[in-house]
């Protein structure tokens, strides 16, 4: 009986593999954890619409993704930063030509309770607040209240972006509270007039008040025009212009359906921009 079972198993395995060889197109995606939710949502929808396509996705950070692209162990490298000159050089020496496609924009907005009088903070003030150097709202034009700093867990992409663009890699004060998601930050801020937090633009709702940064309101428009300072484009890097299955997938990400998923994940979709793809540095 067990022999029969083994045969069955073997033959079904063979069948499985042979079909996958015939039909499956496989795409490997690696890189930034910030871009991960976009890649995850779009590839799920893409695989649903195109059965037989097999996309494997892993995180590891922008650097890891680009490293994998240079090693040719991935087809698409997700990155939350532009490729560095050194990496381009290394890639060229290995015959890889990294080409960037902007797939979404990551804009992060500081938020406070609607009862808070403060409307605007400069990048420098935000940085000082998060480092624990400014401790009272009256120092930045608000009421005489202690500032409760709420931050994200240090491994999240939102934290990473905030640390880079606002804190310039300075350390967040250890007394800062931690919330594990954008939603939890909104929840905490909406109930606390002492608090300040930051979220991806997509998570903003009426229960909290966004602050302008350096006088600029965060919006899809100001993020794309680069007026708003706490925003950055998110990239998918490919070796040469995307082609074949990779091209189809990236096209899907940039399509209205794909960009809708981008917005759903809390990022700013590219709608309204003409500059959709940009060549890699020379």
Quick one: 191 or 251, whose CB is closer to another protein?
191
- What are the C-alpha distances in Å from 211 to residues 51, 63, 204, 220, 268? 44, 32, 11, 15, 17
Distance CA 56, CA 237 (A): 16
Nearer Cβ to another protein (166/246): 166
Choose between 163 and 218: whose C-beta lies nearer to another protein.
163
Rounded CA separation 96/86 (Å): 13
Both tokens assigned to 86: 């050194």
Q: How far is the CB of 149 from another protein (least distance, A)?
A: 9
Give me the least distance between CB of 59 and another protein, in Å please. Answer: 7
Q: Which residue, 149 or 262, has its beta carbon nearer to another protein?
A: 149
Of residues 164 and 227, the one with the C-beta less far from another protein: 164
Cα separation of 178 and 69, whole Å? 34
Least distance from another protein to the Cβ atom of residue 10, Å: 27
CA–CA gap between residue 83 and residue 86 (Å, rounded): 8
Work out how close the CB of 261 gets to another protein at its nearest, in angstroms, rounded to a whole number: 20
State how far the alpha carbon of 208 is from the alpha carbons of 156, 195, 203, 245, 270, in Å: 21, 11, 10, 42, 25
* Residues 119, 73 contacting (CB under 8 angstroms): no
**Could you list the residues that contact another protein (CB under 8 A)?**
33, 59-61, 64, 145-146, 148, 153-157, 159-160, 169, 171, 173-180, 184, 187-188, 191-192, 194-195
Q: Which of 99, 88, 87, 102 is nearest to 279 (CA)?
A: 99
CB of 126 to another protein, least distance (A): 18
Q: Using alpha carbons, select from 228, 28, 269 the residue that is nearest to residue 110.
A: 228
- Closest CB to another protein among residues 18, 205: 205
Rounded to whole angstroms, the Cα distance separating 187 from 208 reads: 9
Please report how close the Cβ of residue 60 comes to another protein at its closest, in angstroms.
5
């Amino acid at each position: 009986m067990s022999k029969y079972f083994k045969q069955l198993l073997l033959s079904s395995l063979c069948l499985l593999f042979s079909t996958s060889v015939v039909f499956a197109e496989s795409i490997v995606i690696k890189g930034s954890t910030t871009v991960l939710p976009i890649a995850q949502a779009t590839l799920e929808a893409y695989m649903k619409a195109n059965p037989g396509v097999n996309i494997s996705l892993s995180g590891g950070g922008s650097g890891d993704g680009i490293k994998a692209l240079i090693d040719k162990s991935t087809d698409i490298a997700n990155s939350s930063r532009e490729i560095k000159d050194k990496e381009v050089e290394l890639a060229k020496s290995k015959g890889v030509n990294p080409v960037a496609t902007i797939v979404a924009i990551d804009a992060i907005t500081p938020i406070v309770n609607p009862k808070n009088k403060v409307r605007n903070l400069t990048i420098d003030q935000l940085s000082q607040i998060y480092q624990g150097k400014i401790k009272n709202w009256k120092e930045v034009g608000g009421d005489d209240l202690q500032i409760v700093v709420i931050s994200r867990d240090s491994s999240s992409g939102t934290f990473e972006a905030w640390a880079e663009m606002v804190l310039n890699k300075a350390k967040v004060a250890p007394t800062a509270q931690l919330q594990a998601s954008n939603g939890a930050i909104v929840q905490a801020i909406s109930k606390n007039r002492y608090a300040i937090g930051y979220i991806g633009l997509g998570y903003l709702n009426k229960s909290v008040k966004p602050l302008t940064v350096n006088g600029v309101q965060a919006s899809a428009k100001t993020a794309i025009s680069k007026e708003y300072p706490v925003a950055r484009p998110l990239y998918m890097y490919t070796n040469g212009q995307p082609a074949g299955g990779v091209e189809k997938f990236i096209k899907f990400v940039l399509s209205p359906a794909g960009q809708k998923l981008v917005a759903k994940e809390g990022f700013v979709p590219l709608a309204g921009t003409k500059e959709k793809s940009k060549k890699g540095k020379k």
